[in-house]
Structure 1
């Protein structure tokens, strides 16, 4: 049964669940309490191991731009109850944004991503969660909790990974079960009734079996009040987000293991809040007197997600040969309804009233997926014989199907009731075969190379009983694509602590189809292909008190799929840019200048430019000031523009200072900052729809005692309370949405 936003806020289920979780943790404490490990050596940086190339390696030895976030840093960044967008800007060249709120994150690496908001959109950044590709954009929003690490691999990964990786891979790895009886509980409470409760514990089952159960509860109260009276949504921007993961490990001996994983997410919250006419005409400033705590809409805002998945990861170790099997199913059922025009009324309303500002026409819609099912299977073999060569090879199978439903409502004449709808059915089947080899030419010079053949097929059809769909290009189509991708890299050990590397790789993303609607015909785009070049250095310095990596890169994309959203034509269509060129630099630095001070820095410069003199798009339909050359008939040239949502500059900084006390306890101060430069929200450039630069910082102060078992801290997120427009709607008026507000609170963590 659906609940109104007001009812959800009153019920406070997350608070009750968090209290219950605390009670259970305290009851279990005596049984689970274990002596923690001895304090780690503070005189050197820890070795960082990653699995970016499907085997465990020292990050210094991987010839690729790889960044990792783990441990305390993950805990700090997520302490305010954020979704996966908290990673944005925390890693060089990574930007994450959403026009759906927590439900539908859009990832960009090196400026390369996809702004399409349709539920059948594909992205060139692949998200891998526990070795399973999360293809649908709603699956990519699964919460981050009880993680060993998050890895971001920049550039095309067209050999070893399964789906749509020309821009890179974001890889989430959960903590695995172990036979130790241990766990943790972490809870925070902050402004806007924000609760973030997370916990996990291992369950040794005796013999060859062990299990781990992890859970997350996130809650925020509705903090934005509607100034309109007697409307369906009086307050919004709150959420109840709950996720659980259960893993069972069977490991009878070192030659075989089977890891089973079942996970679920239940979200009941608010979609992205669109606010009409919040941008001052002729500028990209917020209008005078803008209040983030207020809105004025007449439609209904609500969002729900039910997602469930399972996978089985089997491993056989047969001396020099290791076999892997990964079998997975994912299902997701999202529903999101919002007031898209961001205001109330219209000139044609019975009373002729509207606001705030000009509302030419009312728009209220919902989108949902039904009958979604993603199946995937991978078989992979590693061959590691004695000698200079090591091999990997495998096959990958993918099968996805779903029905996307879009519904229109009318808040002026029908009180928000149903008006019309359209259904789009899509299937996507693909398979790939791949192989790679590592070869040690000498002890100092090593080569890697790989190749992958992919076959991809999509079918799509749209129907409606009560909408007049534009049938110019028909209502059904299919695509059949195949492509060979490859990569080649080399690493040279300049010294025992410094490696130089070079890499060239190719990427591929299958054809795109956007369905017909009442505003425009079905559109298609051919596959896009990419070639990338990268050279870099990775080094441990000062007796491992510093670690640095840096690289320069260039990539060329042919036939890049670009989504033209809204605009004067009020449509969503896919267009093709004949060429896009990206180039830039990236760096990461970890520094331990003194034993009790740890500093990290990272940054990037990205120039991602459209190179197509004949490509035109519609200008905005909401009264913005266009900066691109006019092509006539409401069209504008976009040659030379930076890709949308692609900041040229990203950098981040963290610093942790520890003040040891007697008995091995410590006080600490931790601060983190992330900056991204201005971004254009759309393919065209206009004064109003260029988002200003954004700097967000956090501060945390805490105390750790009893040999690291307990921790209490106070924190603040978005400490400067900087308010920025982070996206827009351009078909109606100067509608925008903003970043999250400042949040502060307290946190307690216990390790069992």
Structure 2
């Protein structure tokens, strides 16, 4: 059966599955009520799940009452996932519909929610998933890699959030909230050590201050030795894949009375280590398997590999209680200076093509770096909200954004290591928005919500270069100016005191993007994209609050979807628009406490995405892959990508955690904790090919620990990627089947003290 016939067969099945799930969601409240009744008496004296509160809609609310698909990670689960020295990519697959990948390593994560993201590797790329750290949007993709430490919670909000959040949220928001200062004498120290000399040291303390001031200092130091041996004797870089990553946060809170507070935040990061390690000829031709005998601890590169990053920032969050209203001012400043240089071809033997099965074999040498200078981002938000009791609640405000920088791309002569030339892309991006939102309780069981936002976004781009042969066919400067109204409407109905159902319709918007000219491709520009999303769901506590379910069914359409054609014969990076793309699916989160000592969480999602543009085609890959897409009629070089799934969009995502506690007679505790994440296969690029289809990936962890002295001390042993499943997780499409991989299995021990 060909691809198109398969799609025709699958689509009705997916529609039927979605309809079945929708009916199940609507029927769930009655089931939950019936199931809870007989269990209630038996469970009265047993433990219950804690109430989960979130700030997804800028207020503290019970997660059950928010008409949106939101997942919160906090407490021990966050500590476990973040214990082995990983960067923010540890969240990938730990939340339904969330995928995170990077071709820059620790410095530049790319987020995808419900299959909707951006593969663009340029430093001025925009993404449709917004990362908000302590109420300040982190717009540049380099800013999104700031480490996760001393956090109260991480919230992942799926679907368009174009009303209440400030920048590029058509796919959703990932929200990090730090632990705030207090007058309590408390803090913690956490250290782990494991395979490859991996060390993770983290700590925080509230600093004693007098009067109305309190302060908190938090810090994290992560280290890993260079664990990959470079087998090329004449290579300019020795062993690889090590890093030293340090970050600090200082917060000061002034709170003279209940009607005023000022929270100041200063933070910084320094990273030094390896850039992403590209490995030439590691994919077996005609398959998506690693070549026979592949060893993740060996590499073959003759170029320079290094990465550094220095970031600083701060914010001031002020609140005034003015009787019936609260007024907020949030001022943010961010600056980042990255440099990343790597051997893009990933090899050391040139001029030979497949089918030779030899790692390090590349078609031609390519070595480059990316850096950024003069970066600064300034944001300002003024927000006012109602503070009175009653059925009506509202909020509204004004948001301002200003970011500018110069991104430099430099090419090197591999034989000498000297710079051969550079291209500078200057970008200035300014925007403002006005927004408002209203919540109204029609009855005690039925609530309505609605919001609206107007955004004005401008970009100025200019390119200069040392190359005489810069491709100027489409110009070297660009100016864009976009404006858009976005809105959302939702409703929540309490079927019982423990079960809510909801429905939501929302729109989102991402402004125009521009990629400057290079030697291999002219300047390209993508016009604004717009998304409309429909979602229904249920959130329920049942079995006398020993179980909690949230589930949703969604469907969205993106018009004029911005896509990035990455790679090809000349490794170009070209922006283009697809007429539209569609996505639909189901998401599920379940927590259950079957016995007092055992807590289980299960999450999962089905995401079916499609590019829908019969006129859209691309040339064949440049890395010697096997194309699976059909040739365009009358062409021998271009292949249609109509009907393909979005890149890096797994159809299935699943996760599971289980914690079993064994109390001791002395009141201490032994425990066993396991966590697993799964994602199905993905396309690395816009086209479909055998070699550049990433295999499904399952990564699991196990942790065994002992807690004593009323929870003040903990020691544990852990293993990550317990099955040692090694997969190609990304590729470079313009040379000899070059790819990069996930981390192999690692072990470690951890000690934590709370004081």
Shorter-chain TM-score bucket reads over 0.9
| 1:722 Cα deviation from its structure 2 partner | 0.3
Residue in structure 1 matching 2:371, options 368, 371, 374? 368
Residue 512 of structure 1 aligns with which residue? 513
Q: Distance in 2 between matches of 1:726 and 1:420?
A: 30
What residue in structure 2 maps to residue 263 of structure 1? 267
Cα distance in 2 for residues equivalent to 1:569 and 1:234: 28
The answer as to 2:547 corresponding to 1:546 is: yes
Q: Distance in 1 between matches of 2:642 and 2:446?
A: 42
SS of structure 1 residue aligned to 2:163: coil
Tell me the residue number matched to 2:749.
746
Aligned pairs for 1:422-571 (under 5 A) are 422-571=423-572
SS at match of 1:380: strand
Alignment of 1:32-431 (within 5 A): 43-347=47-351, 356=359, 358-412=361-415, 415-431=416-432
Corresponding residue number in structure 1 for 2:8: none
Secondary structure of the residue aligned to 1:630 is coil
Matches of 2:472 and 2:546 in 1, distance apart?
Answer: 64
1:582 maps to 2:583: yes
Aligned 8 A contact 1:343 1:354 in 2: no
SS class of match (1:664): coil
The match for 2:650 among 647, 650, 663 is: 647
How far apart, in 2, do the equivalents of 1:385 and 1:316 lie?
Answer: 14
Question: What does the per-residue CA deviation read over 1:466-514, in whole Å, with 9 as the maximum and x for residues that have no partner?
Answer: 3521011100011000000000000000000000000000000000101
Q: Which residue of 1 aligns with 2:25?
A: none
Cα distance in 2 between the residues matched to 1:165 and 1:491: 23
Contact 2:137 / 2:166 at 8 angstroms: preserved in 1?
Answer: yes
Question: What is the distance in 2 between the residues matched to 1:750 and 1:516?
Answer: 53
Aligned to 2:609: 608
Matched, 1:674 2:677: yes
Q: 2:665 aligns with which of 662, 666, 673?
A: 662
Deviation at 1:617, TM superposition (A): 1.3
Distance in 2 between the 1:524 and 1:633 partners? 26
Distance change in 2, residues 1:42/1:723 (3 Å): farther
Q: Please, what TM-score do these two structures have when normalized by structure 2?
A: 0.93
Residues 364-394 of structure 1: CA deviation (Å, up to 9, x unaligned): 0000010000000000000133321111000
Match of 1:404, SS state, is: strand
C-alpha offsets along residues 639-676 of structure 1, whole Å, 9 cap, x if unaligned?
00000000000000000000001232100000000000
1:431 to partner: Cα distance: 0.1
1:570–1:731: 8 Å Cα contact kept in structure 2? yes
Structure 1 match to 2:706: 703
How far is the alpha carbon of 1:633 from its aligned partner?
Answer: 4.9
Shift of 1:344: 0.9
3-state SS of 2:449 partner: strand
The SS at the match of 2:471 is coil
- Offset at 1:42? 6.9
8 Å contact kept, 1:346–1:354: no
Deviation at 1:143, TM superposition (A): 0.1
Which residue pairs with 2:30 in the alignment? none
How far off is 1:593 after superposition? 0.3
1:679-690 correspondence runs (5 A)? 679-690=682-693
**Partner Cα separation in structure 2 for residue 357 and residue 76 of structure 1:** 36
Aligned equivalents of 1:448 and 1:204: distance in 2? 42
Q: For the Cα contact (< 8 Å) 2:348–2:360, is it kept in 1?
A: no
Q: How far, CA to CA, are the matches of 2:234 and 2:364 in structure 1?
A: 20
Could you say what the CA RMSD is over the residues aligned between the two structures, in angstroms?
A: 1.2
Structure 1 position 150, deviation (Å): 0.1
- CA deviation map 1:132-170 (0-9, x unaligned): 000000000000000000000000001000000000000
Give the secondary-structure state (helix, strand or coil) at the position aligned to 1:72: helix
Q: Secondary structure at the match of 2:496?
A: coil
Partner of 1:598: 599
Structure 1 runs (4+) deviating above 3 angstroms are: 353-358
Q: Which residue of 1 aligns with 2:33?
A: none
SS at match of 1:663: coil
Q: For the Cα contact (< 8 Å) 1:700–1:716, is it kept in 2?
A: yes
Question: Could you tell me how far apart the structure 1 residues matched to 2:126 and 2:468 are?
Answer: 26
Q: Which residue of 2 aligns with 1:691?
A: 694
What secondary structure sits across from 2:79 in the alignment?
helix
Alpha-carbon shift at residue 635 of structure 1 (Å): 1.4
Change (3 A) 1:358 1:189: closer
Q: Distance between the aligned counterparts of 2:709 and 2:577, measured in 1?
A: 60
Question: How far does residue 320 in structure 1 lie from its aligned partner after superposition?
Answer: 1.9
Structure 1 distance, partners of 2:466, 2:338, is: 22
- Cα distance in 2 for residues equivalent to 1:51 and 1:320: 21
Contact 1:344 1:354 in 2 (8 A): no
- CA–CA separation in structure 1 for the residues paired with 2:304 and 2:682: 30
- SS for the counterpart of 2:77 is helix
Q: Indicate the SS of the match to 1:102.
A: helix
- Offset of residue 634 of structure 1: 2.1
Tell me how far apart the structure 1 counterparts of residues 389 and 122 of structure 2 sit (CA, whole Å).
50
Task: Give the conservation status (yes or no) of the 8 Å contact 1:156–1:532.
Answer: yes
Distance 2:418 2:640 in 1: 40
In the aligned structure 2, how far is the partner of 1:197 from the partner of 1:732?
A: 39
Distance, in Å, in 1 between the alignment partners of 2:173 and 2:686 is 24
What is the CA–CA distance in structure 2 between the aligned matches of 1:464 and 1:521, rounded to whole Å?
A: 13
Q: Distance in 2 between matches of 1:184 and 1:281?
A: 51
Length-normalised TM-score, structure 1: 0.93
Matched-pair contact (CA < 8 Å) for 2:348–2:361: no
Give the superposition deviation at 1:570: 2.8
Distance 1:422 1:465 in 2: 7
